[in-house]
Amino acid sequence: MTTSIYSWFEQFAQDALKADFDLIMSIILRTLIVTIIVLFIFRWLGNKGLGQLSTFELIILIGLGSAIGDPMIYLKEMSIPQAITSVLIVVLLFKLFDYLTMKSNRFSRLTIAEPILLAKDGQAIKEGLHQARIDDREYQSYMRLHGLEDLSEIKLSYLEVNGQVSFISKQKD
């Protein structure tokens, strides 16, 4: 049974895809190996949603994507051990930057953006909205999503470093 499925897949790959069956099987195997390795790496890195990524973490994620994708496609140019080395370097760089960010305020200021003030005491801060590239309609949408109807209800509002807009409401009398 297994031989017939294997033969069918080999024939399909050669006929329909007009590709070398060994090449396709190599890509499948490499993809499987690298995916399993990356799964363990992401488990080690921790549970942080994409919406909570800093700019540096996003850059690291892109670097990981490249390091992961290359051995899946470029069979002759990059071996699995080379890919694992590349992924480990990116991960260790992430861990190093994460450690330095936790230990050094100076390094933290270099790598992590500050929140941008968008509104204060019921008044929109035009410079902050411009810097955050948020127009009035978009800001009003954020307000509605947080159950706010009017700027006068807002004590403070920020564009946080994770890209989310936060609100501190004025105390109601």
User: Is 80 exceeded by the pLDDT of residue 14?
Assistant: no
Mean pLDDT in residue range 113-119: 89
User: Tell me, what's the pLDDT at 125?
Assistant: 95
User: Tell me, what's the pLDDT at 19?
Assistant: 56
Mean pLDDT in residue range 135-152: 93
Question: What proportion of the chain, given as a percentage, has pLDDT over 70?
Answer: 77
Domains along the chain with CATH numbers? 2-110 (no CATH), 116-169 (3.30.240.20)
Question: Residue 50: pLDDT band by 50, 70, 90 thresholds?
Answer: low
pTM for the full predicted model: 0.54
User: Tell me, what's the pLDDT at 101?
Assistant: 85
| Stretch among 38-52, 71-85, 127-141 having the lowest mean pLDDT | 38-52
The larger pLDDT score, comparing residue 146 to residue 95, is at: 146
Task: List the beta bridge partners of residue 159.
Answer: 116, 165
